[in-house]
Chains A and B, each alone.
Chain A
């Protein structure tokens, strides 16, 4: 029989495996520090680079793009070569991909703590890094599709379909959500504003979960689970339905992050319905995975890899049941903005992504380095420590979220809030923050055991040499192309096009109508743009990541109207770039905080929150009293805003800096009369106060 000799490129796989371990440590430690800060705020050591608002984006980016991202690449490079029976298309492109991605991660690690952020969740990185991400992703895509082009196995296994969906959809999501106009080297404004920015952001945000944290990991599951248990996937036909249903439905689910906001009802309803429908294909995948173990369930007792995979798939099932549940408007009215969402996210991220990655690494490392795992016992200890950690995390956040949600909703028979002081709802859940931190610590302890196990395994590895694999020569012309889906699996080009069509349908239907929605806002309801000083203050709000703890979107719910005022309307944020509706209320909503407290209150609150709210868990921001506002850059910012449609006059643009300085002087002088230190007019605290006092004050007509 004719045979072809192939040498797979496992050098690139090894590189991605090692950095997955490295960045995992960074991501998990950043997460632990963030958790500790919520339990006890001085854990930011009073450093501006470590405040929660700056640390949280560092943690999420490290967890998603550094840890999960590198794990995905390791698995895709390893499995794709073997499924296609071809070496990766280009070793050179592989190296550029690897080093390019690590450079992006390092850039994120430097820029995010420094406050260079677009303040859009999972898309915080500024425009130069966005461009780098696009370029590296294209290189990855070329390398991947090039490998498919030279494959020796005509039909593509299901894992490869999921990789295709991942690559094309992440490209679309990233490019569309990152359309922004630079103001300077590390600042930009998105072309979208207010409601459009919200919809595009959460179309991106939820599909980052879908196509970066779900589909590639499902692909990895479809390959590594059968390998681990030495059994084929339970139902190949189920995987066909699973794939197409998932890929088509997922893209519509984004608006479930915007329920009860000022997003139009039809978009909210679409998001809710499609999120509910998503339960079916998600559990189809879970069933397919779990039933693969039929006849091999005994491995669960003895093999830690199988333990990790089964637990991962179970957490996937839990998260994909809970997600649709939370997407029901009535449930969302309780859970949105609370820690329940955090629990949901981490059940998925730690349970599904984390455990699947650990299982894959335990499978890969001994094989890649041609040795045995140092200790099965240590891997088992890792599993149990990690599992206990996740359960503590999840249960504490579920309890915290429901507690806080119910406390916010509580109205007494006379129609008043039972807990009118927001702080009452914070104090009640702080003990649960300690439990969550303990859960995270256990998860990290398990990971530390893994690092030791991996180190000892690599220590025992023999000298590495690449080996050839001999496979039957490819004879495409003799392979029956088949009909229907069988035919489709043999034509990657057409398959990719159909996948792109599947994801574009929902994207266009949901996003396109909202792009022109501002034409329907009556002139009498339009909002006044921010003054130059308020815009400068908004930049500080964005830099400090205030949106991470404070929302700016009052829902049309009785308890919210009582607590915060009239529900937010879409016109109120029509010029907001980026939108700052927020998705979490560690602190209260700020949509109508303008003029609620005097300027001196804000000054004292920012410098030391505990001086006005004794049990506050908010960080202190004393540096705002010392850092100077960048007035000069306002001219450029106003010019870009005008270019994007905000009705600033030429006079405002030309004299923006002087107008801001004048406004700042008035505020500073008034503060000085009330006892504030003199000479604050050029300091950032004044700009931030101006912005905070403008919130909820810019609407014309009946919205005020």
Chain B
């Protein structure tokens, strides 16, 4: 333990961490692009253009 924190170089843990994050990222991309409503996103993306009382069609 004493030396562990000072000289931690176990690349297996690092690789595992990297894999976990990469898989999570891919899943997140999948979730965002598959499950969300395109109409809602289109409406949200137009928000800056629909302020000041005017509307952007």
Contact = CB atoms under 8 A, between A and B. Distances in A.
B31 A520 contact: no
Interface in A467-502: 469-471, 482, 484-486, 489
A550 interface: no
A185 interface: no
A236 interface: yes
A162 interface: no
A236 B48 contact: no
Nearest to B56: A230
25 contacts: A82-B48, A82-B51, A82-B52, A153-B47, A158-B44, A227-B48, A227-B49, A236-B44, A237-B33, A240-B32, A241-B29, A266-B8, A269-B14, A273-B14, A273-B18, A277-B21, A280-B25, A469-B52, A469-B53, A470-B53, A482-B40, A484-B31, A484-B36, A485-B32, A485-B36
A83 B25 CA distance: 29
Contacts of B12: none
Interface in B3-17: 3, 5-9, 14, 17
A233 interface: yes
A237 B41 contact: yes
Nearest to A509: B17
Contacts of B31: 484
B36 A486 contact: yes
Contacts of B25: 245, 280
Contacts of A82: 48, 51-52
Interface of B: 2-3, 5-9, 14, 17-18, 21, 25, 28-29, 31-33, 35-37, 40-42, 44-49, 51-53, 56
A77 to B, nearest CB: 14
B48 A223 contact: yes
Q: 9 smallest A-B Cβ distances: which pairs? A: A266-B8, A232-B45, A82-B51, A236-B41, A469-B53, A236-B45, A520-B2, A157-B47, A226-B48
A486 B37 contact: yes
Nearest to A240: B32
Interface of A: 79, 82-83, 85, 153, 155, 157-159, 222-223, 226-227, 230-233, 236-237, 240-241, 244-245, 264-266, 269-270, 273, 277, 280, 469-471, 482, 484-486, 489, 513-514, 517, 519-520
Nearest to B10: A266
B36 A237 contact: yes
Contact of B47 (A83, A280, A485): A83
Contacts of A486: 36-37, 40
A382 B10 CA distance: 52
Contacts, number: 90
B32 A233 contact: no
Contacts of A85: 51
B48 A517 contact: no
A230 B49 contact: yes
Contacts of A226: 45, 48-49
Contact of B7 (A157, A265, A270): A265
B26 to A, nearest CB: 11
For the residues of A in contact with B, the DSSP-based class is: helix
B9 A265 contact: yes
B54 to A, nearest CB: 9
B7 to A, nearest CB: 6
A237 B49 contact: no
A30 B42 CA distance: 45
A446 B8 CA distance: 50
B56 A157 contact: no
A520 B28 contact: no
B5 A266 contact: yes
A92 B28 CA distance: 42
Contacts of A155: 44
Contacts of B5: 264, 266, 513-514, 517, 520
Which one of B21, B42, B48 has the greatest number of beta carbons of chain A within 10 Å?
Answer: B48
B48 to A, nearest CB: 5
B35 A484 contact: yes
A158 B36 CA distance: 15
Contacts of A485: 32, 36
Given A155-B44, A266-B5, 8 more contacts: A82-B48, A236-B45, A245-B28, A277-B21, A469-B53, A482-B40, A486-B36, A513-B5
Nearest to B33: A237
Nearest to B29: A241
B29 to A, nearest CB: 6
Contacts of A236: 41-42, 44-45
Contact of A157 (B28, B32, B48): B48
A83 B18 contact: no
A245 B45 CA distance: 19
B7 A264 contact: yes
A457 to B, nearest CB: 20
A126 to B, nearest CB: 33
B5 to A, nearest CB: 5
A237 B52 CA distance: 25
A155 B36 CA distance: 14
A266 B33 CA distance: 35
B36 A241 contact: no
Contacts of B32: 237, 240-241, 485
Nearest to B35: A484
Contact of A241 (B6, B8, B28): B28
A517 B52 contact: no
B56 to A, nearest CB: 7
A232 B41 CA distance: 11
A266 B18 contact: no
Which one of A153, A236, A245 has the greatest number of beta carbons of chain B within 10 Å?
Answer: A236
Given A232-B46, A482-B37, A244 B7 contact: no
B10 to A, nearest CB: 8
Contact of A83 (B21, B40, B48): B48
Which one of B35, B45, B47 has the greatest number of beta carbons of chain A within 10 Å?
Answer: B47
Contacts of A232: 42, 45-46, 48-49
A265 B8 CA distance: 6
Contact of B53 (A223, A471, A482): A471
A266 B6 CA distance: 8
Contacts of B46: 232
A587 B30 CA distance: 51
B55 to A, nearest CB: 10
Nearest to B54: A469
Nearest to A272: B14
Nearest to A269: B14
A513 B40 CA distance: 44
Contacts of A277: 21
Nearest to A82: B51
B8 A264 contact: yes
